[in-house]
Structures are given as C-alpha cells and as structure tokens.
C-alpha cells in the first residue's frame, strides 16, 4: 500500500464527507486500483474517514436546508453517487416532514411574488413547475399550491 497515496486519499476524505464512489474515482486518478484500492478503502472505513451513512445524512440534510431541494432530487443525486439503499434511507430520515412542508410553502410564497402574470391558471402552473424542478413530490406540490391560492 502506497503511503503517499494513502495520505492524499485520507486528506481528500478529511476535507469533506465523500461517497465510496468518489473515493474510488479519486484513487483511480491517483493510479491506484484493485487490491491496493480496496485495502485503502477498508483502511479509510476502519479509521472513520469514510462512512457512507454519514455522507448520506450530511448530503441530504444540507441540500434540503441550504439549497431547498426536495426529496426526489436529493434521492436522485445520492443514487447518482452510488449510495446504498440503506444509507439513502438514513439520509432521507434527516429531513423533518414538518420542516419539509414548511419549506415547500415558503418556496411557493417567494416564487409567487416574482410571477408577474395576472392569469391565476398561469400563476399556478408556474408555481407548480418551479417546485417540481426543485424535486418536491407532485401530490405534495399540488396540495401546497392549492392551499396557497386559497389563502391569497
């Protein structure tokens, strides 16, 4: 096992949480493959530099809180990063259902202020499209948009 590569990959993981796939890709960039790569990955896991569940929790929580992403977009990104189903579920548990719905409503209210069209059907469609692209579930989106339009 190449100590220089091990130090680089440990620093890579210490800098921010990483998925197993990101580590494998980085090891490939450092021209480390096969048994050496597997040994280093095992060492990173044993020494708590690499933890997929922790990665999924931090990723899901931060994308929701900071970027206001919905569950669908977060799941899609985690799957794209090769996160296991178990870790994905643990990550999704980081999102409180009440906060989730409240965030959805806040996004709708904020976007509604930007929409200049006076036609209520066009306004509704623009609101729905906006929050759907953020990754919120369709049934929840329609409920929230309908509730918003009843208030206003």
Are 90 and 56 within 8 A, CB to CB?
yes
> pLDDT truncated to tens, each residue of the chain (152 aa)?
899 999 999 999 999 999 999 999 999 999 999 999 999 999 999 999 999 999 999 999 999 999 999 999 999 999 999 999 999 999 999 999 999 999 999 999 999 999 999 899 999 999 999 999 999 999 999 999 999 999 87
Are 75 and 88 within 8 A, CB to CB?
yes
Closest listed residue to residue 60, CA positions, set 75, 79, 49: 75
Q: What is the pTM of this model?
A: 0.93
Q: What is the structure's pLDDT at 4?
A: 96
d(CA 56, CA 88): 6
- Phi, psi (degrees; rounded to nearest 5) at 86: -60, -50
């Amino acid at each position: 096992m190449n100590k220089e590569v091990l130090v680089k990959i440990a620093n890579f993981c210490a800098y921010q949480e990483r998925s197993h796939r990101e580590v494998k890709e980085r090891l490939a960039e450092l021209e480390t493959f096969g048994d050496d790569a597997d040994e280093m990955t095992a060492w990173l896991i044993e020494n708590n530099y690499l933890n997929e569940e922790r990665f999924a929790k931090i990723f899901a929580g931060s994308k929701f809180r900071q970027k206001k992403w919905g569950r669908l977009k977060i799941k899609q990104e985690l799957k794209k990063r090769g996160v296991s189903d178990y870790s994905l579920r643990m990550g999704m548990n980081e999102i409180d259902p009440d906060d989730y719905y409240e965030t959805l409503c806040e996004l709708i209210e904020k976007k509604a202020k930007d929409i200049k069209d006076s036609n209520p059907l066009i306004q509704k469609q623009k609101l729905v499209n906006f929050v759907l692209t953020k990754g919120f579930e369709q049934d929840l989106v329609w409920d929230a948009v309908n509730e918003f339009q009843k208030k206003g």
